[in-house]
């Protein structure tokens, strides 16, 4: 019995525990508002304030995939994405089933040029333009708070 457990541990369980975190790509969308720079936050499926984000997309670069998520989840129809990540943070991705996996989220700066009222997930999410400092207070992930606070400076 012990050898079966050791075999299962070494062959199945231990490799799963040592897997690197899954990669997600986020868009930190911003614009110049009446009172200065503003960033766009959206709600997650359970109501938390987050950045638009998703999985890498075959055939798209990381900045292009972040821009695609900004369109689908936040309505940024036209934007200019940075070519490289402005930072990353670690978090846990929660699925509707209740399961979680570790994730590394790379954040790409996106200048929002045109924002639509009607977009693929407009019925599923709320969105709000806020100052970067306010955004840092609204999000839950500590690493994202740091990125937003740095963007405020």
Which residues face 49 on adjacent strands? 43, 139
pLDDT, tens digit, 9 for 90 and up, residues 14-57: 666 667 889 999 999 999 988 899 999 999 988 999 999 999 99
Banded pLDDT at 95 (limits 50, 70, 90): confident
Residues 126, 57: contact at Cβ < 8 Å?
no
- Residue 72: burial class (beta carbons within 10 Å; 0-12, 13-18, 19+): middle
CA dihedral 16→53→108→146, nearest 10 degrees, is -80
Return the pLDDT at 153: 74
Whether pLDDT at 87 is above 60: yes
Tokens read off for 94: 């929660």
Query: Mean per-residue pLDDT for 100-106?
Result: 93
Residues 136, 153: contact at Cβ < 8 Å?
no
**Cβ-proximal residues to 151 (8 Å cutoff; 6+ apart), any chain:** 28, 30, 37, 39, 86, 109, 132
Whether pLDDT at 1 is above 60: no
d(Cα 141, Cα 136) in Å, to the nearest integer? 9
Domain 20-152 belongs in CATH node 3.90.79.10: yes
pLDDT, tens digit, 9 for 90 and up, residues 59-83: 999 999 999 999 999 999 999 999 9
Return the pLDDT at 41: 98
Delimit the domains of the chain by residue range: 20-152
């Amino acid at each position: 019995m012990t050898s079966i457990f050791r075999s299962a541990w070494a062959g199945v369980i231990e490799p799963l525990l040592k897997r690197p975190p899954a990669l997600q790509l986020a868009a930190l969308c911003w614009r110049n508002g009446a009172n200065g720079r503003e960033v766009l936050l959206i709600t997650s499926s359970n109501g938390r304030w987050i950045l638009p984000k998703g999985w890498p997309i075959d055939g798209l670069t990381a900045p292009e995939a972040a821009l695609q998520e900004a369109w689908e989840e936040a309505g940024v129809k036209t934007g200019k994405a940075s070519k490289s990540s402005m930072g990353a943070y670690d978090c846990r991705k929660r699925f509707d089933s209740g399961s979680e996996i570790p994730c590394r989220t790379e954040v790409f700066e996106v200048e929002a040029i045109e924002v639509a009222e009607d977009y693929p997930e407009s019925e599923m999410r709320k969105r709000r333009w806020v100052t970067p400092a306010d955004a840092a207070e609204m999000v839950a992930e500590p690493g994202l708070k740091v990125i937003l606070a740095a963007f405020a400076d």
